[in-house]
Amino acid sequence: MCGIAGFAGQFEPELLGRMSMAMAHRGPDDEGKWHDPEAAIGLCHRRLSIIDLSPCGHQPMWDATRRAVIAYNGELYNYRELREELIKSGYKFQSKSDTEVFLNLYLRDGVAMLTKLNGIFAFAIWDTKDKSLFLARDGVGVKPLYISQTPKGFIFASEIKSLLQSNDVNRNLSPEAIHYHLSYLWSPAPTTILKDVEKLEPGYALIVKHCKVTKKWCFYDLPYDQEIIPITVKEAEEELRERLNQAVKRQMVADVPVGAFLSGGLDSSAVVAMARKYTDAEKLQCFTIGFKDNAGKWEGFAEDLPYAERVAKHLGVDLHTIKVGPEMSNKLPEMLYHLDEPQADPAPINALFISQLAREHNIKVLLSGAGGDDIFTGYRRHHALLLERYWRWLPKKVRAMMSRIAGKIPQGGYISRRFAKAFQYADLDADDRLASYFRWLTPSIQQQLYSKEMARQLASRDIQDPLVKSLSRLPESTSALNRMLYLEGKHFLPDHNLNYTDKMSMACGVEVRVPLLDPELVSWTSRLPLRFKQRGSCGKWIFKRAMEPLLPREVIYRPKTGFGAPLRRWLRDELREIVIDTLSERALNNRGIFNPAAVNKLLHNDRTGRIDAAYPIFQMVCIELWCRIFIDQKVPAI
């Protein structure tokens, strides 16, 4: 919906204007600033008008009593019900916006309001009565919120580039975050690539008093600690359809037209099947992307577009397609600028093109199928995890031998890459092995890539695997599959998929909503029997069964594909010059992060098919380009 920023401290008031301009793309419809020099508080807001398009929705917004003021980004899907409840409790409203519901709910319930919210949000409320700043981020992490404690005080924003408008937020890199980016291609919250900047974790809130954080707590965690529900297949199919229907219906709330992504996969197709019933337009407007060449063959995935066209015809929706080719690789610097974080995945470029297409058709809101693989299963690692039952009982010495053999298998082909990855960490204990499914490099190879100084800094820090640390929050009785799904929702979704979806769409002034991650739906799916999720090699088993009455079978049971681009070909062709430039000995020595000799060896081993290092190589390229943009301040022309 918007972009927010602000501070609590002795910052210059002009900073609010600069922070607002840095994220103007997030809210092209309106902007607002508020500053109280006596209280040393400032808030700013960029507005993308979606609910209550009138000036009454302007932010920062005060409640009717002038006690509290809010800057808020997101959508509250149950705001109408809460509004009626608050009116009955005697609270006054000056607008029809969901923003004012936040304010009155806070006045009535205080921070306990968080348990009543169904939506996507990041907000900051300044309470003039107790002189406190209250910030929170939605439980799944759809909306971003970055924070930093500086010598002048506390500062926050929807995007890092907005934070960096203050010279008090230094640009020192975080060795831990670089290590995580090279491991996973993203950095788990709260770390970011900047040492003094953190991401507020999904489902967390904090209180700022006297210009510093005085309290921080988790108000929502993914509910994988619940009992499995007894339910039949037929009951599960019917209830799933109804719960998805209600989630989509809730998320259609808007005073502007709502469209949808339509890749032709099960997740987006299921969302569209529900959404078409609730659109105010004659036909639901859907958007997708197609490649001009046979790019997918390089990565081992099938073309999406024919399936998207099949679904659109079957459901009777309008499908708008943007065709792209190798020229899309030219968008890499722009992608990294908008991402704020050096995520090494070309998929955000697809999201950028689709969002631009939607905005050209005057669509400000898109529904997405994001999250289906993360709550029902759907990734290859989920099947690989189930296959462990055939060998994890083996003695550790035997598993160690399997790991060594896997490390020697050439990975030039698609099948050999998958086989090697399946057994690369066979010798690890349960949770460590589970976390290893998210890794892209073995620790031994990764450690060699660092410069002496970077290796020294990492050696002096506790860089315990944050994924394993997260798993410690679950009961030991939680199954391995649900433990992995917990990691998907806790880290992979917010730190990777949802981050790039938000940043790329908001770069175009488009908001993306995710019905499959509705908290009520997530809570229900977390309690489903495991056999309803992954059954043999079939992921999302119950989801597929439930959608059979609504979608063509060839769409439901089509091969799994990635929402990406031909990265391995790009590195050899379209991005070749960028790889040579960013990973040259001179560039690497100047930056001081990586060891040129080890990087050159990795490039050679990847080219000869000894290992598959395309994504780690791309990650190093992205880190260097990110540094040029945000450290050297060579911002790309956009």
- Which residue in the block uniquely carries the two structure tokens 């319930």? 109
DSSP assignments along 570-583, one per residue: HHHTTTHHHHHHHT
**3-class SS of residue 363:** coil
Q: What is the DSSP code (8-state) at residue 36?
A: E
Q: Which residues partner with 121 through β-bridges?
A: 74
Please write the tens of the pLDDT for every residue from 257-270.
Answer: 999 999 999 999 99
Q: What is the DSSP code (8-state) at residue 551?
A: S
Q: Report whether pLDDT(508) > 80.
A: yes
In terms of Cα–Cα distance, which of 63, 75, 199, 216 is closest to 134?
216
139-167: buried (b, 16+ CB within 10 Å) or exposed (e) per residue?
bbbbbbbbbbbbebbbbbbbbbbbbbbbe
Model confidence at 414, in pLDDT bands (50, 70, 90)?
low
> What is the CATH number assigned to the segment(s) 2-218?
3.60.20.10
428, HSE (Cβ side, Cα atoms, 13 Å):
15
Q: What residue ranges of the chain are covered by domains with CATH 3.60.20.10?
A: 2-218
**pLDDT score, position 298:** 54
DSSP assignments along 458-521, one per residue: HHTS----HHHHHHTTS-TTS-HHHHHHHHIIIIIIIIIIHHHHHHHHHTTT-EEE-GGG-HHH
Kindly state the average pLDDT of the residues 526-547.
Answer: 96
The contacts of residue 303 (CB under 8 Å, 6+ apart) are: 290, 291, 294, 296
- Which residue in the block uniquely carries the two structure tokens 């409320």? 125
CA angle, corner 582, sides to 581 and 583, nearest 5? 95
In terms of Cα–Cα distance, which of 606, 585, 455, 495 is closest to 193?
495
**pLDDT score, position 294:** 65
Question: Could you give the percent of the chain with pLDDT greater than 90?
Answer: 83
Q: What is the DSSP code (8-state) at residue 190?
A: T
Q: Which two tokens stand for residue 381?
A: 């690692």
**pLDDT score, position 563:** 63
Question: Could you give the percent of the chain with pLDDT greater than 70?
Answer: 97
Q: What residue ranges of the chain are covered by domains with CATH 3.40.50.620?
A: 224-379+492-638
In terms of Cα–Cα distance, which of 103, 90, 19 is closest to 59?
103
Q: Report whether pLDDT(296) > 60.
A: no
CA distances from 13 to 9, 37, 429 (A): 10, 8, 53
Q: Report whether pLDDT(74) > 80.
A: yes
Q: How confident is the prediction for the chain on average, in pLDDT?
A: 93
Show which residues are catalytic: 2
Kindly state the average pLDDT of the residues 482-500.
Answer: 97
Burial class (CB in 10 A: 0-12, 13-18, 19+), 55: exposed
Omega into 37 within 30° of 0, i.e. cis?
no
Q: Which residues partner with 212 through β-bridges?
A: 209
Q: What is the DSSP code (8-state) at residue 536?
A: T
Q: Report whether pLDDT(136) > 80.
A: yes
**3-class SS of residue 209:** strand
**pLDDT score, position 420:** 72
**3-class SS of residue 168:** coil
Query: What whole-number distance in Å separates Cα of residue 383 and Cα of residue 99?
Result: 43
The contacts of residue 355 (CB under 8 Å, 6+ apart) are: 366, 504, 505, 507, 508, 510, 512
CA distances from 49 to 170, 507, 514 (A): 33, 15, 19
**pLDDT score, position 351:** 95
Q: Report whether pLDDT(242) > 70.
A: yes
Please write the tens of the pLDDT for every residue from 80-108.
Answer: 999 999 999 999 999 999 999 999 999 99
CA angle, corner 263, sides to 261 and 265, nearest 5? 120
CA distances from 465 to 66, 188, 462 (A): 46, 10, 9
Kindly state the average pLDDT of the residues 482-498.
Answer: 97
Model confidence at 32, in pLDDT bands (50, 70, 90)?
very high
**pLDDT score, position 631:** 95
CATH class of 224-379+492-638: alpha beta
Burial class (CB in 10 A: 0-12, 13-18, 19+), 458: middle
Burial class (CB in 10 A: 0-12, 13-18, 19+), 411: buried
Strands 285-291 and 258-261 turn out to be parallel
Kindly state the average pLDDT of the residues 60-79.
Answer: 97
Could you tell me the pTM of the whole model?
0.95
Kindly state the average pLDDT of the residues 167-185.
Answer: 96
Kindly state the average pLDDT of the residues 532-559.
Answer: 95
CB 335 within 8 A of CB 348: yes
Q: Report whether pLDDT(416) > 80.
A: no
**pLDDT score, position 551:** 98
Please write the tens of the pLDDT for every residue from 315-368.
Answer: 999 999 999 888 888 899 999 999 999 999 999 999 999 999 999 999 999 999
* Phi/psi of residue 629, nearest 5 degrees: -75, -50
